[in-house]
Chains A and B, each alone.
Chain A
Amino acid sequence: MDKIVVRIADYRIAEASATLVTYGLGSCVAVALYDSEKRTGGLCHIMLPSSPGDRASGNPKKFADLCFSGMLRDMQNSGCEVSRIVAKIAGGARMFDLPNKGKSFSIGERNRDAVLIELAKRRIPLIGEDTGGNYGRTVEFHTGNGDMLVRSLRSETKVI
């Protein structure tokens, strides 16, 4: 079975039984959305909580708010119903213990919170989560059954 790789600051959606995979999440967050009736899922890899407005430039898919709404719209266009969609998220770690608590210090938590806000706005239930800690994660999402596999160097592969 082919793996569809989701790059940083991007999303992909797939039907039937595909595997969407995104590698090496640190403070970034992967969000999987799944419509089990359509057996269609989407996976995104976001870098930042929200677009800073005027100062923002370039690829909108690096921001949680814009990436999320783009992915959801594409899923709706391929026949998914928001009322059936559920979500799973992983990532949002704090990789470095920075002595000066700059804006990047808590970026992982802020990414996670931004995703939860987007989910809440659309009443999409969060049914699985593996976030936080200080280690990197690789995420595989299976659109056949909605399983999310989370691999890391620290622990056994988790299925959420």
Chain B
Amino acid sequence: MKRLNESDLDFLRELSNIGVGHAATALSQLIGRQVGMRVPKVSIVDLSSVPELMGGSEKVVSGVYLQVLGDARGGILLIFPDHSSRALISLLLKRVDEPLSEMGASTLKEVGNILASAYLSVLGNMLGITLIPSIPSLAHDMVGAVVDIVLSDLGEIGDTAFVFETEFCDVSDDIKGHFFLLPDPDSIDVIMKAIRSKNG
């Protein structure tokens, strides 16, 4: 992971920016509202600090997790604060969903699928590698418990993870979310090789 230099990270930031731009457009079309995305952070984070980054381990969230398959592997985790996931569902289903119904759950999974697919297709095209999202899966629970899946995946060989993270929100600011892409440590080489061949 150390071998990624500043220029590599800049290039990844730029690619991620385009990728999340496409994902934001996809989400805007889905919900019929303008959605903005922050310039993505591409950083290396201490795994044990991830729950705190999300507002504390006990905060209730909806997490959509997809595995990344293809030339490089990893995981995508989308985290919506509880109120945002409710707002998203009521926008899309035109009704209040309390408690979370099966329909509400599949709506969130579909949103995750659309965002992840849009992002991965851009990233894959620009890097010249194949990246395919798996079927999404959902957990509605404490954020500490939700992020365990990526922590345990990555934690086996290190304490730090290479994370692409962005935040998106719609104009009314009641729908927010975090988008994490966590490449498998073994796939960092594949990504790096692809970057170097494109970035000179």
Contact residues of A with B, CB < 8 Å?
Answer: 7-10, 23-28, 47-48, 52, 55-59, 62, 93, 95-100, 102-104, 107, 134-138, 153
Contact = CB atoms under 8 A, between A and B. Distances in A.
Contacts of A28: 145, 148, 151-152
A48 B148 CA distance: 10
B72 to A, nearest CB: 15
A107 B147 CA distance: 13
Contact of A48 (B56, B135, B152): B152
Closest A-B pairs by Cβ, 3 of them: A24-B144, A136-B145, A26-B145
Contacts of B143: 24
Interface of B: 47-48, 51, 56-58, 60, 63, 65, 67, 69, 134-135, 137-139, 141-149, 151-153, 155-160
Contact of B148 (A7, A47, A98): A47
A99 B75 CA distance: 13
Contacts of B67: 98, 100, 102
A136 B143 CA distance: 9
Given A48-B156, A59-B159, A62-B155, A24 B57 contact: yes
A47 B155 CA distance: 8
B146 A58 contact: no
Given A8-B51, A104-B152, A26 B157 contact: no
A136 B144 contact: yes
A102 B134 CA distance: 12
**Chain A contact residues: over half helix, strand or loop, or mixed?**
loop
Contact of B145 (A25, A55, A103): A25
A56 B51 contact: no
Contacts of B56: 23
Nearest to B137: A96
B145 A93 contact: yes
Contacts of A95: 63, 139, 141, 145-146, 148-149
A95 B64 CA distance: 11
Given A52-B157, A57-B158, A93-B145, 17 more contacts: A8-B144, A23-B51, A23-B58, A23-B142, A23-B144, A24-B58, A27-B149, A28-B152, A58-B159, A62-B159, A95-B145, A96-B139, A97-B137, A99-B135, A99-B137, A104-B149, A136-B145
Contacts of A137: 145
A138 B146 CA distance: 13
B155 A9 contact: yes
Given A8-B51, A55-B156, A100 B134 contact: yes
Given A8-B151, A104-B152, A153-B60, A26 B137 contact: no
B142 A138 contact: yes
A98 B145 contact: no
A115 to B, nearest CB: 14
Nearest to A56: B157
A149 to B, nearest CB: 14
6 contacts: A23-B142, A28-B151, A52-B157, A96-B139, A103-B153, A107-B152
A155 to B, nearest CB: 13
